[in-house]
Amino acid sequence: MTQIVQAEHVFKSYNANPKLEMKHLLQWTGQRFSGRQRLSGASRYTYVLNDVSFEMEQCDSLGIIGNNGAGKTTLCRLLASISLPTKGRIRVEGRVSSLIALGAGFHPELSGLENVYLNCSIMGLSRKQTASRVEQIVQFAELGEHIDVAVKRYSSGMLARLGFSVAVHLDPEIILIDEVLAVGDYGFQVKCLAAIREFMQRGTVVFISHDLGAVERLCKRVLWLDQGQVKGYGPSPDVISQYVAAQQRVIAAPAQESNEAPVGPEQTVLREVFDESIGVHDVETCDARGAVQSEFQMCDTLVVRCSLTASKPTRDLRIVIGLVDVESQAIVTAANNQMLEHPDAFVGQTRIECRFPNILLRPRSYGVYVGISNAKALMPLYTWRDTHARFFITGAKPEPRLHYSPPQSDLTFTPGVEMRYLSVNEGG
C-alpha cells in the first residue's frame, strides 16, 4: 500500500537562518569590531521538531498529542505545506484541507457566505465547483442568518463551525484538524466527530487535540510529541495511557519531591475545620506491607494510614476515607461504622488504616480525602484533602492485562475495603 503521508527524520528550527536577519548580521559585525563577547542565543539552533518520523496509509488516522509547545502545530504546518522542514523529508500526497487555526483564511470584513467562496477558492475550487457545495456547507455550519454577517462579528465557536464545515466539504484526501473543535458547542462537536468518522471511510485524518478521549476514539495510532521529540508512537490506547501516566507524574511531582520550595505534602493539603477539637494528621499511602509509597500498579493493594485526634470526647464519629482524582472527584470511598457503633465518646488519638486491595484505577495520579463527620447530626467536623496528587498508578501489572476504554466511567468498584483502628489511646 502506498504511503500517503511520510515524515522521515524531520527537524524544524525557526532560527535556522540567522544570517538572513539583518539584526544578527549587524550584531555580529559590531562584535567583530568591538571584540566583545558573542551574544548568546543569536545563532543557537533550537529545534521545534527534533527527529520526527511517521507514516500514514490511505484512510489512516493519526492523533497527535503532547503538551503546549511540543511542536504539534508546527508539524501540522509542515504537513499542510505551509513551511518546510529544516532537515529531513516530508511527503504528502493528495489534496490537504487543513483547520490549523480558528478563522484561518477568513477575511474579517467579508460575510460568512463570502468567506465560504473565498475559502473554497483558496483550496483550488473553481466558482462553479464552489457553488455546488455552498448549500451543504451552509447547512452543516448551522449558522442561520449569521451567514450574512461579517466574520469579524463571529464568536470563536461560530468560526469553528464555518471553518470545519468548509474543510470537510472540500472533498480533500487528507484533513488536518488542529484543536479547533474544542470551542464548538457540545452538539457541534458530536456532529464534527461523526463527520470525521464518516470522512475516514475515504480519507486520511490527522487529528490534534487535548481531548484524549476523542483522540483515542477517532485515531488508530497516536504520535506523542514532547519538546519536539517523539515520546511515543503506536496504537492509540497504549500511547495515550503512557502519556497520561507521564502527565500525572508531572502533576504529582510538586507533592512528591520538593527540592527548594516548601511544597511538601502538608502544604498541598486543604483542611476544612468545623470542630476545633478534631484533627487528622500523618496521612500516608503505603503498600501491602506497610512501607510508605507513592507509586502503585494497577491491582496492587493500597493502604491509607492516618491518625485521628479528638481533644474532647466526641460521639457518633463517622470517618470517610476516599481516593480522589486530580480534579478532586471522589473515585473510591470507604466509610466506617465501627466508631459510630462504639458506645463511648472518643477522645485522644487513634491510628486509622484503610486497606484498598486490588485497586482498579486507571494509570493516573490521585489524592487522598479524609472526612470526619457526626453521623447522627449529619454535620461535617473536619475534612482533609490533598490538593496535589499524593500517589499515582503507573500502569497494570503484566498479568492480568486489563484494558480500559476511556468512555467508561472512572468509578471503580473496589470490593473488600476494610478500615480498622490500630490503637486507641484513651486520653484524659
Compute how many residues bind other proteins; rule: CB under 8 A: 47
Q: Which three cell numbers stand for residue 348?
A: 485522644
CB of 217 to other proteins, least distance (A): 27
CB closer to other proteins, 16 vs 246: 16
Residue 168's closest CA among 191, 190, 196, 147? Answer: 196
CB closer to other proteins, 130 vs 394: 130
CB of 98 to other proteins, least distance (A): 8
CB closer to other proteins, 42 vs 330: 42
Say what angle helices 127-141 and 112-122 make with each other, to 10 degrees. 130
Binding mask 9-38 for other proteins (x = CB under 8 A): -----x-xx--xxx----------------
CB closer to other proteins, 175 vs 417: 175
State the Cα–Cα distance between residues 420 and 304, nearest whole angstrom: 11
Task: Compute how many other C-beta atoms are within 10 angstroms of the C-beta atom of residue 179.
Answer: 19
CB closer to other proteins, 96 vs 326: 96
User: Are 222 and 65 spatial neighbours (Cβ–Cβ below 8 Å)?
Assistant: yes
- Residue 199 backbone phi and psi in degrees, to 5: -65, -35
Show Cβ contacts of residue 42 under 8 Å, excluding neighbours closer than 6 positions: 18, 24, 27, 28
CB closer to other proteins, 166 vs 370: 166
User: Are 364 and 244 spatial neighbours (Cβ–Cβ below 8 Å)?
Assistant: yes
CB of 200 to other proteins, least distance (A): 18
State the Cα–Cα distance between residues 354 and 306, nearest whole angstrom: 9
Q: What's the full length of the chain, in residues?
A: 428
Residue 353's closest CA among 424, 268, 259, 275? Answer: 424
CB of 114 to other proteins, least distance (A): 7
Examine residue 204 and tell whether it contacts other proteins (CB under 8 A): no
Binding mask 138-177 for other proteins (x = CB under 8 A): ---------------------------------x-x----
- Cα end-to-end span (Å), the chain: 81
Q: Which three cell numbers stand for residue 269?
A: 493539603
CB of 47 to other proteins, least distance (A): 13
Near other proteins in 70-129, by CB under 8 A:
77-78, 80-96, 98, 100-101, 103-105, 107, 109-110, 114, 117-118, 121-122, 124-127, 129
The bridge status of strand 330-335 relative to strand 379-386 is: unpaired
State the Cα–Cα distance between residues 308 and 303, nearest whole angstrom: 16
Sort residue 121 into left (φ over 0), alpha (ψ -120 to 50) or beta: alpha
CB closer to other proteins, 93 vs 325: 93
CB closer to other proteins, 107 vs 342: 107
CB of 14 to other proteins, least distance (A): 6
Residues that bind other proteins (CB under 8 A): 14, 16-17, 20-22, 77-78, 80-96, 98, 100-101, 103-105, 107, 109-110, 114, 117-118, 121-122, 124-127, 129-130, 171, 173
